[in-house]
Amino acid sequence: MDASAEAFAAGIWAALDGPPGAAASLGFTGRGALPSAFGVTDLAAGSVAAAALGLREVAGTAGPVTVDRRLASFWFATSLRPDGWRVPAPWDPVAGDYLTRDGWIRLHTNAPHHRAAAERVLGPQTDRAGMARAVADRTKAELEAAILAEGGCAAEMRGLADWAAHPAGGAVAGEPLVAFEPGSNRSASRWAPRPGRVLDGLRVLDLTRVLAGPVATRFLAGFGADVVRIDPPGWDEPALEPEVTLGKSCGRLDLRRDADRATFERLLSGADVLVHGYRPGALDGLGYGAAARQSLAPGLVEVCLDAYGWTGPWAGRRGFDSLVQMSCGIAEAGQDWKQADRPVPLPVQALDHATGYMMAAAVLRLLACRLRDGTGGRARLSLARTAALLTAAGPAIPDEPLAPEDADDFDAEIEATAWGPARRLRPPVVVAGHPMRWARAAHRLGDDAPAWADDPAD
């Protein structure tokens, strides 16, 4: 497969079953690429382009779509530059890669309960040196299995060939990049596109966390969608909140409480779109399986993701971008490419971000179907399948480094975030006639009462 931005965009659009020929109007600007064994910059530009094509289809317009490859690359890292304050460190002190008796393992300990699970296996640790000593005499497979059994998150490093031969890798390879399930009934959409601000009034219920889902809903909010993100009490993402709460309302509900369940059901019944990152069966366990969701919200457009795909022995396995990179051979390929003595991940969390933009594109394609014939439906994606898209394209096309940021890369206005003033990068895509902008600055999770819960019929 060609690893160019044009090829990624065309491949993703085809996987979305987008109208033929639409990708021909795409334009890409910007020179250089992020340093990587794989075409991360082109994946970034291609996935952003696919989401923009979906937006244009819903708008019913035919103007050009232009993606800046360089800005897309920057957005795949972080779009915010604080002025006089700092974003917290992105990783827990003991998260990272460790050398075991027979190879490398990655521990993901950012969430307190995931760190606690690792420490039930390895003992309490205060720093990386202590963790390194604790894993040194264990095998990577033994550790991976033990930590997962405790409810934690870990991944041993595999090569590309090892992953391809693994039953889970084979299952993921056989899955579509975007798995669509048409709606089972037809009903007229109560929402319609708005001139200029295309997604204004579109109600999106966001039940996602780190990181793909929030990227998807941030894109939708940038074109006017009314996004309500719901988190449980006590869940925070201090390193990510300034990045992913842009343009959204953010509330908290405890679905173990009857009052909060009632609020959630009012939210769901008022939603046009549901985006969630629950593993298979998790919503069913809360009493909100597919039948219940459709009963509460007939015609609901639903897009979901998981880490390791929806079939095979690892369906539903806990995971994050960095772990999928270890499992699927990306980190080992990076080590070989750089001739390093340890795993080399992608320069950004590209699986998360690319999957997020593809999720946004899937939402928009389903909305277009619903507007056209009343069907809508569901779509499923996974980080592991996005990894397969990236690695199947082959090695990165050699390119010069990206030019450093300059003043022209940023929006003219200062963003008054909840933490202090900041500059935000300009959007990485321009859809003719449909400016991308966010009506609300980034703020903390849980700052808002759940919107539209009292007026689901509007």
Interval 392-438: pLDDT, tens? 999 998 899 999 999 999 999 999 999 999 999 999 999 999 999 99
SS3 label, residue 179: strand
In this prediction, residue 283 has a pLDDT band, given cuts at 50, 70 and 90, of confident
- Tell me: the pLDDT tens digits for 128-167? 999 999 999 999 999 999 999 999 999 999 999 999 999 9
Which one-letter DSSP state was computed for residue 144?
Answer: H
Lowest mean pLDDT among 200-204, 245-249, 293-297, 380-384: 293-297
Establish whether the linkage from the previous residue to 211 is cis, with ω within 30° of 0. Answer: yes
pLDDT for 116 beyond 60: yes
pTM: 0.97
Short-list 281, 282, 253, CA closest to 266: 253
Residues 371, 193: contact at Cβ < 8 Å?
yes
Tokens of 87: 């974003």
- The mean pLDDT value for 443-449 works out to 93
Short-list 402, 389, 398, 344, CA closest to 34: 402
Distance between CA atoms of residues 378 and 96, nearest Å:
35
Residues 358, 177: contact at Cβ < 8 Å?
yes
Residues 221, 438: contact at Cβ < 8 Å?
yes
SS3 label, residue 30: coil
pLDDT for 448 beyond 70: yes
Distance between CA atoms of residues 308 and 319, nearest Å:
7
Distance between CA atoms of residues 189 and 298, nearest Å:
10
DSSP H helices, 188-327, are 212-222, 241-244, 258-270, 282-285, 290-296, 321-327
Tell me the DSSP string of 337-377: HHT-SS----SS-HHHHHHHHHHHHHHHHHHHHHHHHS--E
Distance between CA atoms of residues 367 and 192, nearest Å:
9
pLDDT for 91 beyond 70: yes
**Percentage with pLDDT > 70 across the chain:** 98
Distance between CA atoms of residues 220 and 216, nearest Å:
7
Mean pLDDT taken over the chain: 94
Residues 6+ apart with CB under 8 A from 149: none
Four-residue CA torsion sign, 91, 308, 55, 440 = negative
Distance between CA atoms of residues 440 and 141, nearest Å:
46
